[in-house]
């Protein structure tokens, strides 16, 4: 049991088993999103708040399926529009802990302007960017975060992806976000800590989560990240 005198007293704490979603997971075998989903469930447990006080909001993409796989209140929006919908939810109910699950395509492509202006306004949201460098749901096109020269279905050599990548960390800091961090989907311990801190932070919190796409990104693999990621 948990207790919060400001919320009417005692409430029953959530268990991992109760967070199991009822939808069949459609991610590919080995997808980095599995690690992010597992960390999110653990973070919700550590937050120790009544489940009705948490709202998950997502856009479109493999990342944005995550709220379907965890049994909490959720709002699945249009492509790139997760942050404005989440902002509306926060303004209507400031007591909600609003979490945005977005990808580097959804959040930094179609949702770019929403991201930067929400950071400028320091809206009280936790934004988790599932960053794998590709548009996985639409067959592997390079994302705004892809490295220059990256070869994909829509960026054949030469030159591969022609533009320099957007850096979510630099963008968030420049925009005025007041909590900025980077995690790795393969490091559960640190990722859970970052998620909890982001949700508890009062202001615009961004966690850029590096993850492999086993199907489409053959460069940013589990091996690549395991050799380079550190606590």
Look at residue 227 in the predicted model and tell me its pLDDT: 94
Look at residue 6 in the predicted model and tell me its pLDDT: 53
Structural domain for 222, as ranges = 2-228
Helices and strands (H and E) in the chain: how many: 6, 10
Look at residue 231 in the predicted model and tell me its pLDDT: 72
Closest CA to 127 of 168, 187, 184, 71: 168
Gyration radius (Cα) of the chain, Å: 17
Total of domains in the chain: 1
Print the SS3 string covering 42-96. HHHHHHCCCHHHEEEEECCCCHHHHHHHECCEEEECCCCCHHHHHHHHHHHCCCC
Look at residue 7 in the predicted model and tell me its pLDDT: 53
pTM score of the predicted model: 0.92
Look at residue 11 in the predicted model and tell me its pLDDT: 62
Domain holding 121: CATH number?
Answer: 3.40.50.970
Look at residue 205 in the predicted model and tell me its pLDDT: 99
Which stretches of the chain drop beneath a pLDDT of 70?
Answer: 1-12
For residue 178, give the DSSP letter. S
């Amino acid at each position: 049991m948990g207790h919060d005198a400001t919320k009417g007293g005692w409430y029953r704490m959530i268990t991992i088993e109760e967070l199991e979603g009822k939808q069949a997971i459609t991610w590919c075998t080995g997808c980095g999103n599995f690690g992010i989903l597992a960390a999110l469930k653990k973070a919700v447990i550590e937050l120790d708040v009544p489940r009705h006080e948490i709202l998950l909001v997502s856009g479109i993409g493999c990342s944005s399926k995550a709220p379907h796989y965890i049994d909490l209140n959720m709002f699945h929006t249009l492509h790139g529009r997760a942050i404005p919908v989440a902002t509306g939810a926060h303004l209507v109910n400031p007591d909600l802990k609003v979490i945005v699950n977005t990808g580097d395509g959804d959040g930094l492509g179609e949702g770019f302007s929403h991201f930067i202006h929400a950071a400028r306004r320091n809206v009280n949201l936790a934004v988790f960017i599932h960053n794998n460098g590709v548009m996985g749901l639409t067959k592997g096109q390079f994302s705004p975060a892809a490295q220059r020269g990256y070869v994909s279905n829509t960026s054949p050599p030469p030159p591969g992806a022609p533009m320099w990548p957007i850096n979510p960390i630099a963008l968030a800091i420049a925009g005025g976000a007041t909590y900025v961090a980077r995690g790795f989907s393969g490091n559960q311990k640190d990722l859970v800590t970052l998620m909890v801190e982001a949700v508890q932070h009062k202001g615009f919190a961004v966690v850029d989560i590096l993850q492999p796409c086993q199907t489409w990104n053959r460069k940013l693999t589990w091996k690549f990240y395991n050799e380079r990621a550190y606590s």
